[in-house]
């Protein structure tokens, strides 16, 4: 996950890149991930299109979570490429931070920032990114003005005026965060610290935190596995709401009923490979893969 | 007999505070000790933070050499006696006529405590769950921003008691500074005041100075407690 130029990562760059399919939102080419001798992902190629809701199921240790974490390169692939909107995330020249801002991620353990209030948790990234962009445009305007000094009056370059200010960015982010908190009914928790919240509340806030960046795709890494049974419902219903709004999402889950209800496509993974995929009806109704049949007979 | 000694000692303590020839010594000693401790502590914390930051970097080509140097630094400094380090500083590295021994001492103590502080800070940063970093990175924040806004503020809470411990040890350790020459720190002025042609007894000045050290350390513990309580705010609310 640390993007440093160590050899392991550069190996990935050397593998040949196949042409990218422009209709896909995320395209994975020959993705392989090994932890030492253990091959967790074995040559996976897959495309994820706009508006798809993909559920990834499989026994534990099958590489589901690693697959999801490779999608936003939180885990460095050992081999292969991951494309997001045409950008190769495995290329060191691509600014991974900019790309990740368009990919929301929700973790099993919520991972809310414990040292910040709920509101600050949600606004931290939007404000930071907004201020970065403000700085950039300020620099651009300054450069233009500098250039204009050396030009005659007739052919001076037009200098754009700043549309936003640091204060406005902050207010907008906070208003947006409050709107999102209102939506999940937790507006009264805006100024408390995460340690006082229940698991279900934490996870819903973690989802909202990812949403505040207006992501193109949401990645859910077993979002309900660390929750008390009675809190699973509130989180799943929020995810379902998002799905109904047309958000593209990839969900690693053990909730088969939920996968059946929400997913447009189900991937069954085992042994680092996608063993079978199809619509929920196909996967749960008429599975063909022997391993999938065995898995379903145990969990259903 | 013991009542006699107690009465004499009490009288001498009063003399130390009332007679300017003694009290001036005392305040000079207090000032020197505080000056050396505070400067060395600042240097130590600065150095320790820097070394800790380097040590938590990933094992990549860029960081191999700095990490190796920092490893040697902590190993050597923690593996050799403080007094020896002070002597090497005073008699070898800064063996320049007229170079103030206070500065040498500040450097020696600062470099020494930096090694300990760096390990404390590193431990504090490592104590924070990896998920916090991942959450920050997944939101598109840079590794530096994640470290300074999310990890370090949380790690500080765990580090403060250990750093406090280190600072207390540092203050008391400054008492060996006069082994390397004439520096009028608290311990040395006690020795001077008790010399045969002054008070001609060590009991009273040593007692007074001991209380001074105690007060300094106690004040420091109070400050540390205050800081800790402020930092732990987010856990109670």
CB contact under 8 A, B137 and A1: yes
Q: Which of B140, B144, B230, B231 to mutate to test the interface with A (most CBs of A within 10 A)?
A: B140
The pLDDT of residue B118 is above 90: yes
CA-wise closest residue to A277 among A42, A60, A54, A69: A54
pTM greater than 0.90: no
Domain with residue B7: its CATH number is 1.10.3720.10
Report the alpha-carbon distance of residue B86 to residue B106 in Å, rounded: 10
Residues B68-90 have a mean pLDDT of 95
Q: How many CB pairs under 8 A join A and B?
A: 89
Token pair recorded at residue A201: 């509340």
Question: What is the structure's pLDDT at A12?
Answer: 60
Cβ contact, residue pair B129, A109, below 8 Å: yes
Mean pLDDT of A8-24: 70
Question: Mean per-residue pLDDT for B130-150?
Answer: 93
The 3-state DSSP class for residue A31 equals strand
Q: Chain B residue closest to A68 (CA)? A: B138
pLDDT at A13: 60
Calculate mean pLDDT across residues A89-93. 84
| Run of H or E including B64 | helix B61-79
Cβ–Cβ below 8 Å for B138 and A103: yes
Mean pLDDT estimate for chain A: 89
Using the predicted structure, report yes or no on whether residue B121 has a pLDDT greater than 90: yes
Of the partner residues A101, A107, A109, the one whose CB lies closest to the CB of residue B140: A101
Q: Using 50, 70 and 90 to split pLDDT, how confident is the model at B116?
A: very high
Per-residue pLDDT reduced to its tens digit, B95-106: 888 889 999 999
Closest Cα in chain A to B128: A114
Instruction: Answer whether A100 sits within 8 Å of B145, measured CB to CB.
Output: no
Calpha distance A77→A47 (Å, rounded):
17
Q: Looking at the 3D structure of chain B, how many domains does it have? A: 1
pLDDT in tens, B174-196: 999 999 888 999 999 999 988 87
Indicate whether A164 pLDDT > 90. Answer: no
For the cut 50, the answer to whether the pLDDT of residue A170 exceeds it is yes
Q: What is the ipTM of this complex?
A: 0.87
* Contact status, residue B137 vs residue B146, Cβ threshold 8 Å: yes
Pairing status of strand A87-88 against strand A79-84: antiparallel
Q: Which domain holds residue B128?
A: 2-236
């Amino acid at each position: 996950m640390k993007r440093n130029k160590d050899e392991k990562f550069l190996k990935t760059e050397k593998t040949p890149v196949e042409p990218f399919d422009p209709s896909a939102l995320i395209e994975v080419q020959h993705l392989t991930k090994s932890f030492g001798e253990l091959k967790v992902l074995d040559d996976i190629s897959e495309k994820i299109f706009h508006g798809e809701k993909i559920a990834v199921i499989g026994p534990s240790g099958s590489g589901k979570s690693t697959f999801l974490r490779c999608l936003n390169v939180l885990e460095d692939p050992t081999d292969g490429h991951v494309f997001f909107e045409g950008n190769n995330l495995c290329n060191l020249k691509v600014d991974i931070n900019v790309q990740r801002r368009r990919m929301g991620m929700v973790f099993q353990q919520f991972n809310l920032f414990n040292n910040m209030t709920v509101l600050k948790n949600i606004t931290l990234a939007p404000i930071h990114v907004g201020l970065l962009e403000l700085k950039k445009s300020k620099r651009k305007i300054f450069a233009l003005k500098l250039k204009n000094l050396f030009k005659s009056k007739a052919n001076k370059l037009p200098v754009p005026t700043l549309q936003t200010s640091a204060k406005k960015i902050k207010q907008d982010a906070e208003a947006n965060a409050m709107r999102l908190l209102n939506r999940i009914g937790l507006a009264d928790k805006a100024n408390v610290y995460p340690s006082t919240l229940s698991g279900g509340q934490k996870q819903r806030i973690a989802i909202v935190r990812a949403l505040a960046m207006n992501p193109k795709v949401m990645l859910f890494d077993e979002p309900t596995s660390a929750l008390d049974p009675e809190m699973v419902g509130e989180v799943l219903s929020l995810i379902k709401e998002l799905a109904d709004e047309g958000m593209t999402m990839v969900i690693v889950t053990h909730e088969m009923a939920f996968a059946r209800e929400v997913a447009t496509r189900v991937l069954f993974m085992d042994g680092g490979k996608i063993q079978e995929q199809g619509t929920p009806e196909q996967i749960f109704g008429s599975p063909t893969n022997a391993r999938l049949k065995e898995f379903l007979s145990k969990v259903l | 007999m013991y009542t006699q000694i107690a009465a004499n000692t009490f009288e001498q303590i009063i003399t130390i505070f009332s007679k300017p020839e003694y009290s001036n010594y005392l305040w000079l000693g207090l000032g020197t000790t505080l000056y050396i401790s505070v400067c060395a502590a600042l240097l130590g914390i600065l150095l320790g933070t820097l070394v800790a930051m380097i040590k938590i970097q990933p094992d990549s080509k860029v960081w191999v050499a700095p990490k190796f140097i920092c490893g040697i630094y902590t190993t050597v400094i923690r593996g050799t006696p403080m007094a020896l380090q002070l002597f090497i500083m005073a008699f070898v590295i800064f063996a320049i006529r007229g170079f103030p021994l206070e500065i040498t001492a500040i450097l020696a103590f600062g470099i020494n405590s930096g090694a300990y502080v760096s390990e404390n800070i590193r431990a504090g940063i490592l104590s924070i769950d990896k998920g916090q970093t991942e959450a920050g990175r997944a939101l598109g924040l840079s590794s530096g921003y994640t470290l300074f806004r999310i990890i370090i503020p949380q790690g500080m809470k765990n580090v403060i008691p250990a750093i406090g411990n280190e600072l207390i040890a540092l203050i008391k350790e400054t008492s060996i500074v006069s082994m390397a020459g004439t520096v009028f720190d608290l311990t040395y002025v006690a020795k001077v005041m008790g010399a045969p042609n002054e008070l001609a007894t060590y009991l009273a000045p040593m007692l007074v100075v001991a209380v001074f050290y105690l007060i300094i350390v106690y004040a420091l513990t109070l400050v540390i407690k205050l800081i800790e309580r402020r930092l732990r705010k987010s856990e109670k609310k």
